[in-house]
Structures are given as structure tokens and as C-alpha cells.
Amino acid sequence: MKMLTILSLLVLSFSWAQAANHSADDDYAVGVILGDPTGLSAKMKLNNEHSLDGALAYSSGRHHGTQIHSDYLWDRARSWETTQGPLYMYYGLGGRLISYTDKDDHSQISLGPRGSLGLDFNIFNPNIELFGELALILEVVPSITADVDAGIGARIRF
């Protein structure tokens, strides 16, 4: 529990420091992600090449429970032109935490680093961002195992 508290404080401190350094012209996006996990999704653009994203969602995969994850993204790693505009590939590194109940009805926490790969398509009228994402997670708490997250979603940019 002590490790979880320290990790949460570090993530919040980093997020608050980043937010304090932003001007009013920065891009933010809020929306939903569907798949595993399913829930609320948000993204904060740091500059033209990097952003932070995350979700508060329900995971129906290996562990059924509430999930929170966040990634530091390298945006526009690759792009393809389409008739509707560019399609961008991104990748990122971050972490995932799931709170769930095990088969013996005990509360458990799963924690581990996460690597993500996704596609992002922006619509400009209205300001909507469509995305698809695949992430590989190496769970290190309570035991070392691997898991996969996959989802599609939409966020409104403001």
C-alpha cells in the first residue's frame, strides 16, 4: 500500500508540474475508450511531438476491476495521408493499476509498466480525435505476468 501511495503522489506531482507549465492555447481532449478497458479517456498535448494520455475504466480482461493507466506518448511516429487527412501512428510508455477482487473474494491490486502502440485520426469540424490502441503490460505486483489492453475510442479536443 505504501508503494501505491508513493507512486500515486509521483504521478500527480508530474501531472501538476506539466499543467503549470502550459498556456491556454494547449490541446486537451476528453472522451471514451471501448474494449478492454472501457471507460473515460483523456489526453493532454505537451507539444507537437509528445503528449500524456490516460484512462479511468473498467477492465474485463484477466482481472475484472477498476483500471487506471497513463502513458507518455511520442506522437506522429509515422503518418499516412488519406483523402480525409493524415493518420498518425504513436507509441508510448507508462503504467497501469487495476483494483479487483480475486476468486477468494479478497481485494487485490495489479501494477505494472505499460507500452502502447496506436493510431490517431483527427477530425477538425467538430474537433474530434478517433484512436485505436494496443498495449502490452508487464504486471509486477502481485506476481510477474503479462497482459494486453486493446481499445478504440473518441475524444473531443478543446
Please report, for the chain, the start and end positions of each structural domain, with discontinuous segments joined by +.
Answer: 27-157
Helix, strand, or coil (residue 148)? strand
Between CA 31 and CA 135 the distance in angstroms is 18
The CATH code of the domain at 27-157 is: 2.40.160.20
Helix, strand, or coil (residue 70)? strand
pLDDT at residue 41 is higher than 70: yes
pTM score, whole prediction: 0.81
Between CA 48 and CA 12 the distance in angstroms is 23
**Residue with the three cell numbers 491556454:** 24
Note the pLDDT tens digit of each residue in 45-102.
999 899 999 999 999 888 889 999 999 999 999 999 988 889 999 999 999 999 998 8
pLDDT at residue 24 is higher than 50: no
